[in-house]
């Protein structure tokens, strides 16, 4: 199973990388909507709530079709608000499906992330059910088909004292109570969605629930514009004594109809249960073998200074501050292995290098980088490249040495300094875009440690002109290469500048550096 | 100057892509679809009603073995079994059989009839019969008396895509065509 998943991820990943890169170039990584798929779902929910409140004011359970028609006839508000409600609900499903696909391709669904995967799928299902009730509210031919088919499927469950499908047989007029219940479900379900959303992000520190303001307004603006330009019309009203004629159907909420109409209710349940089970069990079936799973971080509790930085920086709230064991007072950082995804960001956040996944904490990074620089000897590179294995690959042009890491956010700033001390003219770091880090906050923390004195910061004595951080996603290797070449040029200029300095100035500088050290 | 041109061209393409995606979403939200295309210009006969199926109670005295296993104070003179009467539902259109099924109620719940069949539009002679399958085992007695068979003979003239509904009037106990 894992082999198949890896194969699928590789294939889909290649496509996604190209699309990401194209949209990055168009909108910039900050406003790339693909990086914000989850936040866009929440934004659509906000739009749905606002427009839904307006529409509810005019909805009448005693005359559902007529009341929706009256709203649709309101040229100034109702018509486009109803369309916006519809299109936002479609966009929510599209964004949610994209979000799930993206996380699958990025292998972010197993281990501690399984809760988010499962709750996300339940959320998507709840959104679909909520949409189903919304369509039934209109009571046009699409509503009739959805209601009749839904009732047929539900009647296969031996839980109803009377088949609910009878309500739609045409023997009696459909009671207002049905539409009241449906309206209640349509309004009540979003409350449940809110709780599910809380569960969905419960393992994340600082979840970003909404996209950046610019993207949010652009999304709402475009949806509103198309709602005004192409409002939703009214299909013919439902008639239980007529076979529903053809009408426009919403693929996002009625996609299952062509299949279910051809199957018995039992078979629909069978197929639905099989699909649900398959996607819900993905975290269990498709995770790597135990031996291949990266081990969780560990802390050196004896020497922990309780600065709390790893606790603050951990994007998954996997590090807690607990009572220091033994007789000493105070707290120490402790990793909860069940919550740790082994991102290694804590390794970069601990100034004394006491925390991180085995083999990747600050001390081991330093050992590793010393071993690498020892091999340089006669061929000291102009620029040492430290790049995330998921970010843009600038290649390895002449005069460079490449050091790949699993997440740039886990790179300890001492590694950068060590590379410069070993003789590299500059250090070129390549991280993922801040909104597309597999480990969520790696690039952001790295940037703050390098340039904004976040704890475990790059020391002031390091010449920042010799350090360059680039946020570029995979698929943008060409741009990364161009930026690298520019940086190489700047380093060469710096080298010439330094060589041209009078001996006395150079001596003063070295003394200054020595004092700072 | 060049840079400004590049940025505005990118903005135009970006806007076009965004609007294109939005229009694509709209297009997918209104796909013309006829879920019952197979019906074509045909009509539909729908039989739908609820009827309380009589319960047949058949009793027999306890056997010696049963008496031996039941404490004396719990023994009743006879054991009775309650069974709902199965019903046969049949329909003919212009004298040709259209539907046939045997229906049995679950436990004490009523018997729910819901059957549909495609029929051509136009004038037809419809006959529907709904009758108990058998009088029940010998010695059995139906609570509330034995059920009556119900039949319907009617002329129908459905239009294309019209549903002819046959229902049971619960007050008169007669099958009738909903018009």
Q: For residue range A247-300, list pLDDT tens digits in order.
A: 999 999 999 999 999 999 999 999 999 999 999 999 998 899 988 899 999 999
Asked whether residue A99 is domain-assigned, the answer is yes
Residues A99 and A208 in one domain: yes
Check pLDDT > 50 for residue B1: no
**Eight-class DSSP state of A35:** G
In a domain, A335, yes or no: no
Q: Are A445 and A409 in contact (CB under 8 A)?
A: yes
Distances (CA, A) of B170 to B50, B52, B55: 8, 10, 18
H-run or E-run covering B91: strand B87-93
A221-247 mean pLDDT:
94
Provide the token pair at B172.
């008169």
Can you read off the two tokens belonging to residue A213?
A: 């303001």
Q: Which two structure tokens, joined as six digits, stand for A202?
A: 């419960």
Supply the DSSP symbol for A137: H
For residue range A359-409, what is the model confidence (pLDDT) as tens digits? 999 999 999 999 999 998 778 999 999 999 999 999 999 999 999 999 999
Query: Measured on CA atoms in the order A408, A409, A412, A417, is the torsion positive or negative?
Result: positive
Q: Residue A220: CB partners within 8 Å, gap ≥ 6? A: A43, A47
A435, HSE (Cβ side, Cα atoms, 13 Å): 21
Residue A216, CA atoms < 13 Å, CB-side half-sphere:
15
The answer to whether position A342 is within a domain reads: no
Interface of B to A at Cβ within 8 Å reads 10, 13-14, 17-19, 22-23, 25-26, 28-37, 39, 43-44, 46, 48-50, 109-110, 112, 114, 161-163, 165, 167, 178
- Please check whether residue A479 touches B, CB under 8 A: no
Residue A505 belongs to some domain of the structure: yes
Claim to verify: residue A106 and residue A199 sit in the same structural domain: yes
**CA dihedral sign of residues A263, A267, A268, A271:** negative
Q: Which residue of B has its CA nearest to A170?
A: B165
Written as six digits, the tokens of A233 are 């019309």
A254 vs B contacts (CB less than 8 Å) = 33
Q: What percent of chain B is predicted at pLDDT more than 70?
A: 88
Categorise residue B174: left if φ over 0, alpha if ψ from -120 to 50, beta otherwise: beta
The CATH number covering residue A361 comes to 3.40.50
Q: A67 with A213, same domain?
A: yes
**pLDDT averaged over chain A?**
93
Cβ pair B128, B91 in contact under 8 A: yes
> DSSP string spanning A306-357?
---HHHHH-TT--EEEEEPSSS--SEEEEE-TTT-----HHHHH-TT--EES
Structure ipTM over 0.95, yes or no:
no
Report CA dihedral (B126, B129, B130, B131) to the nearest 10 degrees. Answer: 180
On whether both A58 and A181 belong to a single domain, the answer is yes
Give contacts of A 229-268 with B, CB under 8 A: 230, 232, 240-252, 254, 257-258, 261
Between residues B76 and A267, the one the model is more confident about: A267
How do strand A319-323 and strand A331-335 relate by DSSP bridges?
Answer: antiparallel
The answer to whether residue A362 is domain-embedded is yes
The whole-model pTM stands at 0.88
**pLDDT value, residue B6:** 60
Tell me how close the Cα of B114 comes to any Cα of chain A, in angstroms.
Answer: 8
Closest CA to A410 of A426, A384, A387, A433: A387
Looking at residue A107, what DSSP letter applies? T
C-alpha span between A360 and A363 (Å, rounded): 8
The shortest CB-CB distance from A249 to any of B13, B31, B36 is to: B31
Give the sign of the dihedral formed by CA B67, CA B69, CA B74, CA B80. negative
Identify whether residues A27 and A138 lie together within a single domain: yes
Look at residue A196 and tell me whether its pLDDT is greater than 80. yes
Above 80 in pLDDT, residue A84? yes
For chain A, percent helix, then strand, then coil, each to nearest 5?
Answer: 60, 10, 30
- A163 reaches B (C-beta below 8 A): yes
Same domain, A277 and A366: no
Tokens 């508000």 locate to A77
The reply to whether residue A166 touches residue B26, judged by beta carbons under 8 angstroms, is: no
Pairing of strands B163-169, B43-51: parallel
Q: How many domains does chain A have?
A: 2
The angle formed by the CA atoms of residues A286, A290 and A291, to the nearest 5 degrees, is: 125
* A267 and A374 within one domain: no
- Residue B3 in this model has a pLDDT that exceeds 60: no
Query: What is the percent of chain A where pLDDT is above 90?
Result: 85
A384 part of a folded domain? yes
Residue by residue, DSSP assigns A69-97 as HHHHH-TTTHHHHHHHHHHHHHHHHHHHH
Residues A403 and A500 in one domain: yes
In a domain, A275, yes or no: yes
CA distances (Å), origin B75, targets B60, B69, B82, B139: 13, 10, 19, 22
Residue A292 lies in a domain: no
Nearest to A222 among B19, B35, B43 (CB): B19
In angstroms, the CA A67 to CA A61 distance is 9
State whether A379 and A474 are in the same domain: yes
Q: Tell me which residue range forms the domain holding A371.
A: 357-516
User: What are the tens digits of pLDDT across the range A442-473?
Assistant: 999 999 999 999 999 999 999 999 999 999 99
């Amino acid at each position: 199973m894992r082999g198949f998943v890896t194969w699928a991820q590789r294939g889909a990943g290649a496509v996604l990388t190209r699309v990401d890169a194209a949209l990055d170039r168009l909108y910039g990584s900050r406003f790339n909507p693909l990086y914000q798929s989850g936040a866009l779902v929440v934004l659509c929910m906000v739009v749905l709530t606002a427009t839904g409140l307006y529409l509810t004011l005019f909805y009448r359970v005693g005359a559902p079709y007529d009341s929706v028609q009256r709203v649709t006839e309101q040229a100034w508000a109702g018509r486009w608000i109803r369309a916006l409600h519809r299109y936002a609900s479609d966009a929510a499903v599209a964004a949610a499906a994209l979000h799930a696909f993206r996380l699958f391709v990025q292998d972010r669904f197993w281990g501690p992330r399984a809760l988010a995967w499962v709750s996300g799928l339940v959320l998507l299902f709840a959104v679909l059910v909520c949409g189903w009730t919304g369509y039934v509210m209109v009571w046009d031919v699409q509503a009739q088909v959805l209601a009749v088919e839904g009732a047929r499927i539900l009647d296969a469950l031996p839980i109803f004292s009377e088949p609910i499908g009878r309500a739609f047989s045409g023997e009696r007029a459909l009671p207002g109570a049905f539409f009241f219940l449906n309206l209640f479900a349509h309004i009540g379900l979003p409350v449940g969605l809110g709780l599910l959303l809380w569960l969905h992000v419960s393992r994340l520190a600082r979840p970003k629930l909404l996209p950046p303001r610019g993207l949010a307004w652009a999304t709402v603006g475009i949806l509103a514009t198309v709602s005004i330009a192409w409002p939703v019309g009214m299909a013919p009203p439902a008639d239980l004594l007529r076979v529903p004629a053809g009408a426009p159907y919403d693929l996002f909420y009625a996609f299952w109809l062509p299949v279910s109409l051809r199957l018995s209710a039992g078979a629909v349940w069978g197929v639905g249960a099989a699909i649900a089970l398959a996607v819900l069990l993905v975290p269990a079936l498709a995770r790597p073998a135990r031996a291949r799973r990266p081990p969780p971080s560990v802390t050196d509790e004896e020497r922990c200074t309780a600065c709390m930085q790893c606790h603050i920086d951990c994007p998954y709230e996997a590090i807690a501050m607990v009572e220091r064991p033994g007789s000493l007072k105070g707290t120490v950082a402790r990793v909860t292995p069940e919550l740790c995804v082994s991102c290694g960001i804590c390794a970069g956040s601990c100034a004394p290098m006491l925390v991180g996944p085995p083999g990747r904490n600050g001390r081991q990074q330093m050992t590793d980088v010393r071993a690498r620089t020892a091999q340089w000897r006669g061929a000291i590179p102009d620029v040492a490249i430290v790049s995330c294995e998921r970010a843009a690959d600038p290649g390895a042009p002449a005069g460079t040495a490449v050091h790949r890491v699993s997440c740039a956010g886990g790179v300890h700033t001492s590694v950068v300094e060590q590379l410069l001390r070993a003789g590299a003219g500059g250090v070129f770091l390549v991280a993922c875009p801040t909104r597309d880090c597999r480990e969520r906050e790696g690039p952001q923390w790295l940037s703050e440690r390098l340039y904004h004195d976040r704890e475990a910061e790059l020391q002031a004595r390091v010449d920042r002109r010799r350090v360059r951080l680039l946020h570029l996603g995979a698929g943008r290797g060409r741009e990364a290469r161009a930026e690298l070449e520019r940086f190489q040029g700047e380093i060469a200029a710096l080298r010439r500048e330094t060589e041209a300095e009078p001996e006395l100035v150079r001596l003063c500088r070295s003394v200054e550096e020595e004092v700072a050290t | 100057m060049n840079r400004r041109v590049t940025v505005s061209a990118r903005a135009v393409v970006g806007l076009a892509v965004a609007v294109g995606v939005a229009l694509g979403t709209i297009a997918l939200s209104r796909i013309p679809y006829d879920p019952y295309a197979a019906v074509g210009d045909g009509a539909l006969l729908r039989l739908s009603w609820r009827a309380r199926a009589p319960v047949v109670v058949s009793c027999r005295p306890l056997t010696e073995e049963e008496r031996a296993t039941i404490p004396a104070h719990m023994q009743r003179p006879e054991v009775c079994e309650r069974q709902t009467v199965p019903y046969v539902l049949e329909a003919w259109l212009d004298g040709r059989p259209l539907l046939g099924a045997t229906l049995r109620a679950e436990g004490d719940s009523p018997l729910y009839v819901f059957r549909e069949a495609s029929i051509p539009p136009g004038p037809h002679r419809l006959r529907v019969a709904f009758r108990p399958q058998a009088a029940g085992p010998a010695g059995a007695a139906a609570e509330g008396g034995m059920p009556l068979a119900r039949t319907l003979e009617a002329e129908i003239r459905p239009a294309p895509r019209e549903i002819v509904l046959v229902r049971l009037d619960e007050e008169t106990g007669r099958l009738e065509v909903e018009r």
